[in-house]
Copies of this chain bind each other. A is one copy, B any other.
Amino acid sequence: MKTFDTTATGVYLITVTPFTDSGVLDLASTDRMVDFCLDAGVTGLTVLGIMGEATKLTAEESRLFVRQVLTRVAGRVPVVVGASAPGFAPMKELTESVMALGAAGVMVAPPSTVRTDDQIVAYFDMVQETVGPNVPWVLQDHPVATGVQMSAGVIQRILKNAPTCVMLKHEDCPGLAKLSAIRAASARGEVRRVSILTGNGGGLFLPEELSRGADGAMTGFAYPEMMVGVCRAFAAGDIDKAHDIFDAYLPLARYEQQAGIGLAVRKHILAERGVIASSAIRKPGPKLSAADIADIQQLTVRQLRRLAEIT
């Protein structure tokens, strides 16, 4: 297994959490989903993120799901678990529990209540203290979801105080200038270099982010082969091929990123592809209309056609 550390590259897929039509955790689909991701070439998995409906699971269901994923992965790639929580006691408990099960690390986003630079830095100092000296963790910078704006300078301050933070999940939309600034600071020796994986809108800026120094993507999309293909082409120096792959998937990726129904689109496609048995989302959650499904059908046909043209 590639170690989960500051040298991580490639695609850490944010997985969905499969349910049956009646809303029960679907462990058979979980196994198929893990196989599907690994077959697609991902270098890691991230579970219990926002798109994993983490907050809709009971504590026991969360443990069950994480254990199932870890068992199926069987050490082939690192698995990161979302551990954002409004309090540090639950964060500590969840972290210890998933690390004991074999997780590679945890991911933490700030609560919407921190605002000033000092408040943000102080919060992550407490996160570092909470996860302790032995747990590698991911700093999630996702202002669209959290409302928290972290400047490049603040991220550097956090990294200086946090010896076991190994990765930045960069989701500032799109924050290309911030990405450049952080890489430049590392190049000047002002802050240690960590892995940066990007997540904006299901990878909607992935080619540009790679050219600014990102190491890959940590995001979800019903076609993980897109992100894998873009990253591999980029790593091979074939920038035009990276864009060709990206552009072919872009119309559908854009559609899957719709606020509100995005997760429903993703689960619908994953069910259509045979990865999960049901596209069910737990309440409160959206349902696709016939018109939505027709849109997806049309975009999928066009995507297939375009992929055939470029390969």
Contact = CB atoms under 8 A, between A and B. Distances in A.
What number of copies of this chain does the assembly contain? 4
A57 interface: yes
Contact of A87 (B55, B174, B208, B302): B55
A186 interface: no
- Do most interface residues of chain A lie in helix, strand or loop, or is the interface mixed? helix
Given A116-B149, A151-B118, A208-B295, A173 B90 contact: no
Interface residues of A, number: 58
Contact of A93 (B55, B58, B150, B174): B58
Contacts of A176: 258, 291-292, 295
Nearest to A130: B283
B259 A251 contact: no
Contacts of A122: 284
Contacts of A117: 116-117, 151
Given A56-B88, A87-B57, A89-B56, A291 B151 contact: no
A90 to B, nearest CB: 5
Contacts of A118: 151, 153
A53 interface: yes
A61 interface: yes
A180 interface: yes
B58 A204 contact: no
A282 B151 contact: no
A36 interface: no
A72 interface: no
B149 A58 contact: no
Contact of A56 (B55, B87, B212, B251): B87
Nearest to A60: B93
Given A87-B282, A211-B295, A247-B306, 13 more contacts: A55-B87, A56-B86, A56-B87, A56-B88, A117-B151, A118-B151, A122-B284, A205-B254, A208-B255, A246-B251, A247-B247, A247-B250, A250-B251
6 contacts: A56-B87, A59-B93, A88-B282, A116-B117, A174-B258, A176-B291
